[in-house]
Amino acid sequence: MIYVACPFCGSDYTHHGDVEVYVRDRDDGESQITLVNAKSKKTALMKDELNANPSWRRNGIRIWFECEAGCQEVFSITIAQHKGQTWVSGLKLIEL
């Protein structure tokens, strides 16, 4: 079993909240975001005006987390497509 740990304090007490899904019609095209708001349980579709897509040219996903212990910082994990590969970043994992 592997747990996501807080990258700030190392605690394995974290929970995920909002999820952003970025899609493009074509490589290097404009991104659209589907935002899933964890608190309101609603979704919204919008343009990626801030160029926040974790993938430079293709699709991406960002999952927001909060630390439940210690520091209570907010951090994210991203998944990005890049030239046929899938990159994952922002992870600090603990194997138990």
Q: Where do contacts with Zn ion occur on this chain (CB under 5 A)?
A: 6, 8-9, 11, 67, 70-71
Quote the least distance from Cβ 4 to Zn ion, whole Å: 11
Residue whose C-alpha is closest to residue 56's, from 76, 78, 32, 82:
82
Strands (E), 25-84: 31-37, 42-47, 60-67, 74-82
Q: How far is the CB of 3 from Zn ion (least distance, A)?
A: 13
CB of residue 17 to Zn ion, shortest distance in Å:
15
How far apart are the C-alpha atoms of 21 and 23, rounded to whole Å? 7
Which is closer to Zn ion, CB of 13 or CB of 56? 13
11 or 59: CB nearest Zn ion: 11
